[in-house]
Structure formats: C-alpha cells, structure tokens
Amino acid sequence: MRRSPLHRHPLVLALAAALPLALLAGCQRAAAPAPATPAAAPAPAAPTIGIDLAALDKAVRPGDDFYAYANGGWEKTAQIPADRASTGVFYTVFEKAEQRQAEIVQGLAKAHPAPGTDARKLADYYAAYMDEATIERRGLAPLQPTLDAIARIGDRRALSAYLGSTLRADVDPINATNFYTPHLFGLFVAQGLADPAHNYPYLLQGGLGMPDREYYLSPDPAMAKNRQAYQAYIVALLRQAGTPDAEAKARAIFDLERQIAQAQASVVETQDIHKANNPWPTAELGQRAPGLDWPAFLAAAGLENRPVLIAWQPEAIRKLSALVARVPLPVWQDYLRFQALNENAALLPKAYADLRFGFYGTQLQGIKAQRPRWKRALAATNDALGDALGRLYVERYFPPASKARVEAMVANILAAFRDGIDQLDWMSPQTKAEAKRKAAAMRVMVGYPDHWRDYSGLEVKADDALGNAQRAAAAEYRHQLAKLDQAPDRGEWWMTPQTVNAVNLPLQNAMNFPAAILQPPFFDPKADDAANYGSIGAVIGHEISHGFDNLGAEFDADGRLHNWWTAQDAAHFKAATDRLVQQYDAYQPLPGLHINGRQTLGENIADVSGLQAALRAYRSALGGKPAPVLDGFSGEQRFFIAFAQSWREKMREAALRAQVVGNEHAPGPWRALTVRNLDAWYAAFDVQPGQALYLAPAERVRIW
C-alpha cells in the first residue's frame, strides 16, 4: 500500500523510517517444509469485539472527524518512542514480530549451530554486528579496499567500470518509487513489461544521499534546512575519515548531487508505466545515453552479454550518463568516497554511526535516540538472511490454522471484488470480462513462500560486520542476475514472512501477505468477523484493488502491459480517479503542505476499492444472519472503526513532512478518511449534511 514494498504497492514503505523494504541476499531457493504442527487448539470461545474501545473519543462526532472518533483516546496518551519517528498499529505489530525474531536469533547464538548452516550464519551475522570492540579496533580498515579502488580511478573508462562494479539490485520501481540508493544506477530484474515470458534487466536512476530529488530542489524552508544540515554532515563525515580540505570537497559533492537530482524523474513521472517501457539494445547505449563508457560499465556489472536493457527513466539515464563525462574526475572520486563512507557508516566505529544517525535519524525524521544495538543488529541480519530467519519464524509462530483462515478471507474478498465488477453500471461487458479474468487469475500467497533461498554461497564471518554486509549485497546481486537466464517465477516472494507489510505485484498478477502482519490487531483468530474484515480484510482488499488502480489497470491477467479497456470505460475511470485526486489534494497535514493527490493516487484507489470489497465480503460472511451487536456497536460500525484504528499513527513533524513530500502513501490519519466515499459509513454513523466529512452522494468516489 517497503519501501514499499510497503508499494509501488507495499502497504507501508517504512515504519518509523527504520524498516527499509530490502531485497534479500542469496542465490537459489530450496523447497519449503511445512511449518511445525502447533499444539492442539482449545475449543473456540465466543468472539471478542476486536476493536480498541479505550481508543475511542466519543466526544467527537464520526461525521466531523472519523479518525479522531476512532483514535482520539489513544492519541491523547500515545507517546512516540525516542528511537522512532512514529508510533501506531504498525509499530505495535512490528515490535511483536521484532521480539520474536530476537528470540530466534539470540537463541541461535547461544546454541552454537554447526558451521556452514543457515542457523550458524544467522548467529554469526548478528554476532559480528554486535561486536563493537572489533569494529572500533579495526577502524576504516574493512572499508579500505573500497576506498583504494576509488583512489585508483584514473580516467573515464575506469570511472565507468567502477560504477558498473558497484551496481546493486536494491531498487524495485513498481513497489518503491521513492526508494533511493547512493549508487548512480540501480538494477531491477523482472519479466518484460510487454513480454511476460522472459526476464529483463531494468536500469533505474540513483545517486542521491537524501531521500528524494525534492530535498535538493524544493523551495520549502524546511527543505532548505535539510540541505544545510546535509552539507554539514558531508563535511563532518569526510573529516572523521581524515579527508583533507573537507569543506571544499563537500561543496563539490553536494553540487554534484544537486545536478543528479535535477537529472532525475519525479515520483509521479516514475509512476507512469508507459514512460518506463524503453527497451534499449545494449549496442546502442552509447548513442542513446552518451557520456558513460557503456562497454566498461556493462562488463563490470556482469551485463555485457545482455542484448537489451530496459531504461525505466530514460531521460534521467541520459542526463546521468552525461554527468559522468562532464563533471571533473576528482569530484567523482570525492563523491564516491563520501558515498562509500555514508553507505557503510553504521558498520564503522561509533563516531561514524553517530554522525549518520544525527542526520538521517534526527534531522530528517526527528528521532531523538538511536535504536539499541541489538535491534539494529537484528534488522541487518534480517536484511541479509531474511529467508533463513523467515523459515524459522513461520515454524514457530504461524500455525496452519491461521494460514487457512486468512486464505478463506482472501477467497471471500476476491469473490466480493468480482461481484462488485458485475454491479458496475458504467463499465462495458467487454471490459468487465477482462477485469474478472484478471481477478480470477490473481495468485494469492499467504504467510510464506513455497521455496526458500539457499544461502550456501554466502560467506558470513563472526568478526567482519562490514564484510558480511558487502558479501550479502553481492550475493543478492548475483541472485538477481541469475534470474536473467531463467523463466519468470510467478510464485516469487518480494517480502519475507517476518515483514509487517503486504504487497501487490503487477508483473506477476500476485500478492504477498507475510505471516507477521497476520496477527492482532490486523488479524485476530479470536475476534469477531467485523473487526477482522475491517482490518486485515481491508488490507487484503487494498492489495487486490492494486491490480486495478491507475497502474495495475494497465496490466492484464498475465502481468503484461496491455490496454484491455474500451475508450469510453477508460475515460470514465480517469474521471473518477481525477475526483479522488482532488479529494486528497485538499488535505493539509501541515500548514502550507498539502497531500499530493496524484502522487498518492494508486494507494487511495486501493483504499477506497479495497474497503468496499472487504465490506461486501463481510456482509457475505454473515450468511444472511444479522450481525451481533457487541458493546453497543453494530457490525458495520465495528467494521469501520477497525479500519480507522488500523491507520492510527502519531508522527514527528519531520517524518510527516518527509512522507508527504516523497512517499506515494498518504499519512495514516488521512487514509482513515477513505470511509467518506462509502454509502454504508453514512448509514452506520448517521452522518448528515453539514458535518465536516460529509460528501453528497454524487461526490463520493466509487471506482470498483
């Protein structure tokens, strides 16, 4: 809806700016064993209400501020942890999943697993990160080979080769449009937009040290302060590493990054899938994007034998390539040196890590304190060995009964979505048939993958934290390159089971619902159906609807970029989405800072349509029986309250600003206002004209 990723459809791209949607290190996948059989469950009890009654603020009328009505009580007392940029339901669920992962990894460290096993690699990766004494003692030595390689760059060909050698598979443009990488380019490997039978390498823009081009270009005073702080950070990091003339070099580095930002496409432009389908023959790269020595770059990147490379942001790639030729070589070397220090600062001595946190944590997110070392170590281990940890996670914490119940909910919501298509009075039979075919072909993956990554090719040392990270990134890159010689894997997962997120994959026409999000309050096996359908049901509906949002609707049942709409239906769809853009443009999270309705459109479509499908499925699940009234709330009241409580969130101002500027998701409190577009919400809470959230029936947006 990581990063991401989750967008461009992960449910949330980052939680408190500390949970990046990272691809996993590894090479192959092995068959997944069934999770361990849990103990016999007790006899089912009467369902609980499933919503947080203490969180309500009944002094607020639902029709004036539904978010405050559902969460005002919580809002008055909730405190953002010092090491976080925000708090809310996602943080609560993440914290539980994090504690479970810690129990696994820390338990392995005490068990001394056999060398070479995944369990030993998990234990050693974690131990190396925690070994602060060794990290302090070694200083910059682990990074010195990288710094020496940069110092040896003697001409443009060598620069191009270095840029190719550091190309990494750390970008997914569909599921994380605002993901940034310090490498000048990023690689994404997936099936062709117009050729679902073959995998292709996609080249994407990169090169920024701050999260988005707007941080360099926006006239907003807050962004100007970020730019000043970033330049000071560059100076400080260079000085810490003993770099002479740090101030002058920092000015040149920042100026180069500003030029990179000017070259880049915006988030909205990147979301336009039709601008991304640019198959460039590799033999023609020198003519299409002159400046870079493409043969040297491709050879160093392991792409020299690929006949075609797809340029996702073609104009940006042209401009970035031109910068390679235009900017003086010493400036490039200083830039690359800084980015190497910056990218690896967390794994260098404490002085480097503290400088990095001061900028990225405190300045950009408003976070007051670093997370404890063990939490950072756990996150790093998770990034590098995600499937190895995920396999143990589902064996211990995700019983088959939960998987089966969620799969049943998914089937119900998919059926409700298809029924909703039949009820659309504006859509032609031709387009309806194609939409239903796509919905019927959707692959829904719940809990965990059918096969796990094989980490046998990844070397992990208990005393080499930075080396482990570098080898893990290289292993992930090799894994992605290997896909170029294989048929697309329709069952590939893009999230680990322990990820608190969900994702729609347009190219696969598939969805991932990891095990970690399938726990209270999103999903509670003991709770009444109204709460489960309003919470995890709306998440499921959201991901289904992503297959039919402004981007997903461009892909057919096979994941092919293909127009399956009649011209009249497409015009009606665009008119409805334009109204949703206007609705979100009007929201103003901070004085003078409005949500960008175009930038967040895909997520907002999925929220509206997904909530409608979940409500329809909830009604169907009642089987014609009236919903019970629990604690004075009707079934549909509980459904809508559960939805709004799923989006409760308190953010620091810096983090809120960052989300509005560069993220494709509206902040949680404004996503909760999706309810204004559903007729049933008005009936459930007797919302009347004159109340702040009231929309006349003709103004309510219904898309699917």
As to burial, measured by CB atoms within 10 angstroms (0-12 exposed, 13-18 middle, 19+ buried), residue 255 is middle
Residues 423, 530 within the same domain: yes
Do the beta carbons of residue 86 and residue 80 sit within 8 Å? Answer: yes
Q: Which CA distances in Å does 259 have to 208, 264, 285, 321?
A: 10, 9, 21, 12
Instruction: Give Rg (Cα) of the chain.
Output: 25
Query: In the prediction, which pLDDT does 549 show?
Result: 87
The answer as to whether 392 is a domain residue is no
Q: What is the model's pTM?
A: 0.87
Please determine, for residue 4, whether its predicted confidence score (pLDDT) is greater than 50: no
Query: In the prediction, which pLDDT does 681 show?
Result: 98
DSSP string covering 26-83: -SEEEEPPPPPPPPPPPPPPPPB--S-GGG--TTS-TTT-HHHHHHHHHHHH----TT
Arithmetic mean of pLDDT, 230-236: 98
Query: In the prediction, which pLDDT does 630 show?
Result: 95
Query: In the prediction, which pLDDT does 486 show?
Result: 94
> pLDDT class for 47, splitting at 50, 70, 90?
confident
The answer as to whether 546 is a domain residue is yes
Residues 560, 415 within the same domain: yes
CATH number at residue 302: 1.10.1380.10
Query: In the prediction, which pLDDT does 399 show?
Result: 86
Residues 331, 430 within the same domain: no
Residues 298, 443 within the same domain: no
Q: Which CA distances in Å does 522 have to 41, 183, 357, 488, 496?
A: 20, 36, 31, 32, 18
Distance CA 340, CA 506 (A): 34
Distance CA 182, CA 168 (A): 10
> pLDDT class for 232, splitting at 50, 70, 90?
very high
* CA–centroid distance for 406 within its chain: 22
Of the chain, the end-to-end C-alpha distance in Å amounts to 17
User: Strands across the sheet with 503-505, in order?
Assistant: 443-447, 510-514, 503-505
- Segment holding 396, helix H or strand E: helix 386-397
Q: How many helices and strands in the chain, by DSSP H and E?
A: 29, 11
Query: In the prediction, which pLDDT does 22 show?
Result: 29
Query: In the prediction, which pLDDT does 174 show?
Result: 58
Residue-wise pLDDT for 172-192, tens only, equals: 665 544 445 789 999 999 999
Please determine, for residue 359, whether its predicted confidence score (pLDDT) is greater than 50: yes
> pLDDT class for 435, splitting at 50, 70, 90?
very high
Query: In the prediction, which pLDDT does 173 show?
Result: 62
Do the beta carbons of residue 315 and residue 265 sit within 8 Å? Answer: yes
Residue-wise pLDDT for 622-674, tens only, equals: 999 999 999 999 999 999 999 999 999 999 999 999 899 888 999 999 999 99
Residues 146, 269 within the same domain: yes
The answer as to whether 570 is a domain residue is yes
Please determine, for residue 1, whether its predicted confidence score (pLDDT) is greater than 70: no
Do the beta carbons of residue 488 and residue 198 sit within 8 Å? Answer: yes
Asked which of 347, 366, 390 is the last residue of a domain, the reply is 347
Query: In the prediction, which pLDDT does 180 show?
Result: 57
Query: In the prediction, which pLDDT does 574 show?
Result: 93
The answer as to whether 388 is a domain residue is no
Residues 328, 439 within the same domain: no
Asked which of 331, 347, 363 is the last residue of a domain, the reply is 347
Expressed as residue numbers, the domain containing 665 is: 402-449+491-704
Do the beta carbons of residue 652 and residue 544 sit within 8 Å? Answer: no
> pLDDT class for 234, splitting at 50, 70, 90?
very high
Do the beta carbons of residue 483 and residue 26 sit within 8 Å? Answer: no
Residues 504, 438 within the same domain: yes
Distance CA 511, CA 547 (A): 9
Total residue length of the chain: 704
Nearest alpha-carbon partner for 670 in 648, 685, 654, 688: 648
The answer as to whether 52 is a domain residue is no
Please determine, for residue 78, whether its predicted confidence score (pLDDT) is greater than 60: yes
CATH number at residue 659: 3.40.390.10
Residues 443, 305 within the same domain: no
Nearest alpha-carbon partner for 262 in 254, 251, 252: 254
Please determine, for residue 278, whether its predicted confidence score (pLDDT) is greater than 90: yes
Distance CA 55, CA 71 (A): 5
The number of C-alpha atoms within 13 Å of 206 and in the hemisphere containing its C-beta is: 26
Query: In the prediction, which pLDDT does 476 show?
Result: 95
Residues 336, 407 within the same domain: no
Query: Based on the structure, what is the number of domains in the chain?
Result: 2
Residue-wise pLDDT for 500-533, tens only, equals: 999 899 999 999 999 999 988 899 988 999 999 9
Please determine, for residue 258, whether its predicted confidence score (pLDDT) is greater than 80: yes
The answer as to whether 126 is a domain residue is no
Tokens (6 digits) for 563: 């127009």
Residues 302, 430 within the same domain: no
Please determine, for residue 24, whether its predicted confidence score (pLDDT) is greater than 70: no
Q: What average pLDDT does the structure give for the chain?
A: 90
- Cis omega (within 30 of 0) on the bond before 521? yes
The answer as to whether 265 is a domain residue is yes
Distance CA 387, CA 495 (A): 9
Please determine, for residue 127, whether its predicted confidence score (pLDDT) is greater than 60: yes
Tokens (6 digits) for 272: 């336009």
* CA–centroid distance for 87 within its chain: 17
Distance CA 553, CA 542 (A): 14
Query: In the prediction, which pLDDT does 597 show?
Result: 95
User: Strands across the sheet with 199-205, in order?
Assistant: 185-191, 199-205, 308-311, 279-281
> pLDDT class for 401, splitting at 50, 70, 90?
confident
Residues 195, 334 within the same domain: yes
Q: Which CA distances in Å does 372 have to 98, 127, 135, 235?
A: 13, 14, 16, 26
Arithmetic mean of pLDDT, 263-282: 92
Tokens (6 digits) for 132: 């602060």
Residue-wise pLDDT for 93-107, tens only, equals: 999 999 999 999 999
Query: In the prediction, which pLDDT does 31 show?
Result: 38
> pLDDT class for 205, splitting at 50, 70, 90?
very high
Tokens (6 digits) for 462: 């208990």
DSSP H helices, 264-363, are: 267-271, 285-288, 294-301, 314-326, 329-344, 350-356
DSSP string covering 433-454: HHHHHHHHH-EEEEES-SEEEE
Distance CA 216, CA 209 (A): 10
Residue-wise pLDDT for 307-343, tens only, equals: 999 999 999 999 999 999 999 999 999 999 999 999 9
Tokens (6 digits) for 26: 């590894």
Instruction: Count Cβ atoms below 10 Å from residue 258 Cβ, excluding itself.
Output: 16
Instruction: Give Dmax (Cα) for the chain.
Output: 77
The number of C-alpha atoms within 13 Å of 415 and in the hemisphere containing its C-beta is: 11
The answer as to whether 170 is a domain residue is yes
